[in-house]
């Protein structure tokens, strides 16, 4: 690990100002992703800004019926919150499908949103990777691509976003609240939060340099049957090959977001009316334009069958 300096600010404004003073600094929350990356020297921030003392660990009701989840709320606490379990069961289920109990005890809401890809070549510093080293190439294209994206990827990068929580947040129409060094705040819809790679796969989100996530907001509950189904190579401690987050209403209308198939949680609102016609038509519309590799073409079929199972469960 490269040497680094460390500070522990006491407020979000102080943390954002510290980031402005140290442009190459990183925020550290639970550290469950960042420290691994630092040990492998994939990330080498000269300065760490510890955000654990910022008082961002509450879950508060919002006017109009939503919830405001502090950026530092641990994944375990969020999944167990009675309001989340009752009104946003999709989120609770997605969180519990991720990582392990020990990791969820440390992992935070903001850190989970910003975790980096699990593309094997990103973690191997001997291999070309445009995301790790812009302009170096992409060893995954033509390489081992079984886990990688089938849609939304580019000639520069075919990695997937690994977060389970983010898939549920996309289906729930959540938004990400931030504060910048100058004190300006903004709310970024989940639909706009994760970027597609294009020719700049190193830029993964809409965050600006030094911008701190302060909270995630959930709109008023929408009810419905909320199901998160994750298909993976083993029953725990594994990232999704395909996951389906669905909210199915009594009248048959549904929201559907997919994990494991794209560089960001994949939701196509215009395709959702097709759910009434069944999993096949729905998935053809949701994955319209998919360009799988010969190794991961199975994900297209798997996504359709997973949605079929989810719809059968939702409709009893």
Ligand X SMILES: Cc1cc2nc3c(=O)[nH]c(=O)nc-3n(C[C@H](O)[C@H](O)[C@H](O)COP(=O)(O)OP(=O)(O)OC[C@H]3O[C@@H](n4cnc5c(N)ncnc54)[C@H](O)[C@@H]3O)c2cc1C
Answer with the entry of ligand SF4, ligand X, none that 117 interacts with (C-beta below 5 to 8 A by kind). Answer: ligand SF4
Q: Is 181 in the site for ligand X (CB under 6 A)?
A: no
CA–CA separation, 224 and 37 (whole Å): 39
Contact predicate 128/136, CB 8 Å: yes
The region of 127-135, 157-165, 244-252, 299-307 touching ligand X under the rule CB under 6 A is: 157-165
Answer with the entry of ligand SF4, ligand X, none that 111 interacts with (C-beta below 5 to 8 A by kind). Answer: ligand X
Q: If binding means CB under 6 A, how many residues of this protein chain bind ligand SF4?
A: 14
Looking at residues 12 to 31 of the shown chain, list those that interact with ligand X (rule: CB under 6 A). Answer: 26-31
**Adjacent-strand bridge partners of 228:** 245
Which is closer to ligand X, CB of 84 or CB of 141?
84
CA–CA separation, 200 and 180 (whole Å): 22
Q: Look-up: residue for tokens 């009701």?
A: 61
Q: Is 121 in the site for ligand SF4 (CB under 6 A)?
A: yes
What's the maximum distance between 2 C-alpha atoms anywhere in the chain?
Answer: 58
Q: Residue from 131, 230, 264, 299 that binds ligand SF4 (CB under 6 A)?
A: 131
For the CB of residue 170, give the shortest distance to ligand X in the complex, in Å.
13
Task: Supply 17's token pair.
Answer: 């100002």
Answer with the entry of ligand SF4, ligand X, none that 29 interacts with (C-beta below 5 to 8 A by kind). Answer: ligand X
Per-residue CA distances from 209 to 9, 30, 176, 202, 289 (Å): 18, 20, 16, 13, 32
CA–CA separation, 306 and 243 (whole Å): 8
Q: Which residue's CB comes closest to ligand X?
A: 111
Q: Is 161 in the site for ligand X (CB under 6 A)?
A: no
Looking at residues 231 to 270 of the shown chain, list those that interact with ligand X (rule: CB under 6 A). Answer: 237, 239
CA–CA separation, 113 and 100 (whole Å): 17
Answer with the entry of ligand X, ligand SF4, none that 9 interacts with (C-beta below 5 to 8 A by kind). Answer: none
Answer with the entry of ligand SF4, ligand X, none that 213 interacts with (C-beta below 5 to 8 A by kind). Answer: ligand X
CA–CA separation, 259 and 266 (whole Å): 6
The region of 109-117, 126-134, 190-198, 273-281 touching ligand X under the rule CB under 6 A is: 109-117
Residue whose C-alpha is closest to residue 59's, from 34, 76, 36, 44:
76
Task: Supply 172's token pair.
Answer: 């729930």
E strands within the chain?
5-7, 26-28, 47-50, 59-61, 67-70, 175-179, 185-189, 212-218, 225-231, 242-248, 254-259
Per-residue string for binding with ligand X, 41-80, x by CB under 6 A?
----------x-------------------x---------
Q: Is 239 in the site for ligand SF4 (CB under 6 A)?
A: no
Q: Is 139 in the site for ligand SF4 (CB under 6 A)?
A: yes
Looking at residues 188 to 217 of the shown chain, list those that interact with ligand X (rule: CB under 6 A). Answer: 212-213
For the CB of residue 296, give the shortest distance to ligand SF4 in the complex, in Å.
12
Q: Is 159 in the site for ligand SF4 (CB under 6 A)?
A: yes
Q: Look-up: residue for tokens 């886990």?
A: 147
Answer with the entry of ligand X, ligand SF4, none that 112 interacts with (C-beta below 5 to 8 A by kind). Answer: ligand X
Residue whose C-alpha is closest to residue 258's, from 138, 168, 186:
168
Binding site for ligand SF4 (CB under 6 A): 117, 119, 121-122, 129-131, 138-140, 157-159, 201
């Amino acid at each position: 690990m490269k040497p680094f300096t460390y500070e522990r600010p006491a407020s979000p404004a102080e943390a954002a100002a510290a980031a402005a003073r140290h442009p190459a600094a990183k925020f550290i929350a639970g550290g469950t992703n960042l420290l691994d990356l630092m040990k492998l020297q994939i990330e080498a921030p000269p300065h760490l800004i510890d955000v654990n003392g910022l008082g961002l660990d509450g879950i508060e009701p919002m006017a109009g019926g939503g919830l405001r989840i502090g950026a530092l709320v641990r994944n375990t606490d969020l999944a167990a919150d009675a309001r989340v379990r009752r009104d946003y069961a999709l989120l609770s289920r997605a969180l519990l499908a991720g990582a392990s109990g020990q990791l969820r005890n440390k992992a935070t809401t903001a850190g989970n949103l910003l975790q980096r890809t699990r593309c094997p070549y990103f973690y191997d510093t001997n291999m070309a990777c445009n995301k790790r080293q812009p302009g170096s190439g992409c060893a995954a294209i033509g390489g081992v691509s079984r886990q990688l994206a089938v849609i939304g990827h580019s000639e520069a990068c075919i990695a997937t976003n690994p977060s389970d929580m983010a898939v549920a947040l996309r289906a729930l129409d959540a938004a990400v609240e931030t504060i910048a060094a100058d004190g300006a705040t903004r709310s970024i819809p989940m639909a706009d939060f994760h970027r597609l790679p294009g020719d700049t796969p190193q830029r993964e989100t809409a965050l600006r340099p030094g911008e701190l996530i302060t909270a995630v907001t959930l709109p008023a509950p929408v009810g419905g049957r909320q199901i998160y189904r994750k298909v993976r190579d083993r029953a725990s401690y594994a990232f999704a090959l395909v996951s389906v987050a669905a909210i199915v209403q009594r009248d048959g209308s549904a929201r559907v977001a997919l994990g494991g198939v794209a560089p960001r949680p994949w939701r196509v609102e215009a395709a959702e009316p097709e759910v009434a016609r069944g999993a096949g038509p729905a998935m053809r519309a949701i994955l319209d334009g998919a360009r799988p590799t010969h190794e991961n073409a199975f994900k297209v079929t798997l996504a359709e069958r997973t949605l079929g199972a989810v719809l059968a469960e939702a409709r009893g």
